[in-house]
Amino acid sequence: MFIGFQQGQFRQIHGVDIHYVCAGQGEPVLLLHGFPQTHAMWAKIAPLLAEKYFVICPDLRGYGASGKPKNVADYSFRAMGADQLALMRDLGFDRFHLIGHDRGARTSHRMALDAQDRIASLTVMDIIPTHLLLNELSKEIAKAYYHWFFLAQPAPMPETLIAADPIAYYESCLFGWGAAGASGFDPEQMGAYRRAWQDPDVIRGMCNDYRAAIEVDFDLDSVDLNRRLTLPSCVMWGKDGVMGRAYDVAQTWADRLTDITPAPVPGGHFFPDQYPTETAEALLAFLAQQPPL
């Protein structure tokens, strides 16, 4: 699947095995996937970036082949981000470009809050700030993003229901928010997602991710509401997705980021799967504007 990529590797970070693939040469670019996917979401984008950059694609803790700790607090965006900061340090990179989609974008924002000096540029894909989404929840967003509250219910209720047919459940998420049916997703990438979804520990890990967002991350973000990051930031969103229809996505970041490049792209929430070439072109254009590390 990953043409030109090394075999997947593991690093033990904070007692958790973090799985990643990497390839290319040049300045480092870290790509963080979202729910309910794995590093495989970058399969068609990463090789294009790797022509000019050294690209690292990990599985977040709780996802894919990475470790799945037991406690809800272990899945805060701060904990997930600390994994990635340590991984990049282990790989020899003190500063790097950071790109995240969905949960990976929320992790990326927290990483920039916690270690802005290490992030050369930040790209967040198809999200509005976590605190804003939860604090000013509209009925339209609550209906479309009901999974935030279903997955956050106490264990083992959501895990038990999902385990009855995990492929059907997670495909309903992909196809429901993505403004596309199965035809919008590469069969080989879908195969990678489906294999992960059938692991009970992945189901538990993804539920804990959403539990932590409400139980831990909301309070962490409350502390940082008056902080504006000054690093170059690209805010991308799918023009046909829920966020793009409900919000002025770039504007939702105006009181958190001072240097925003808006980048609407075709497609829905999963535009990296639907439109990988257009996504890669937008990323390369933004990265090309940044000064050398």
Tally of CB atoms within 10 A around 288: 8
Considering the candidates 97, 101, 109, 269, report the single residue annotated as catalytic.
Answer: 269
User: Is 269 considered catalytic here?
Assistant: yes
User: Is 102 considered catalytic here?
Assistant: yes
> What is the average pLDDT across 18-30?
96
Nearest 5°: the CA angle 241, 281, 38 is: 60
What is the per-residue pLDDT across 152-208, written as a single tens digit (0 to 9) for each?
Answer: 999 999 999 999 999 999 999 999 876 677 888 999 999 999 999 999 999 999 999
Residue 212 has pLDDT above 80, yes or no: yes
pTM over 0.75: yes
Residue type, 124: V
The pLDDT mean for the chain works out to 95
Dihedral (CA of 28, 100, 226, 259) sign: positive
Where are the chain's structural domains? 9-288
pLDDT of residue 177: 72
C-alpha 182/C-alpha 171 separation (Å) is 8
- The lowest-confidence range among 4-18, 134-148, 155-169, 252-266 is 4-18
Fold exhibited by the domain 9-288: Rossmann fold (3.40.50)
Considering the candidates 74, 102, 209, 273, report the single residue annotated as catalytic.
Answer: 102
pLDDT of residue 176: 80
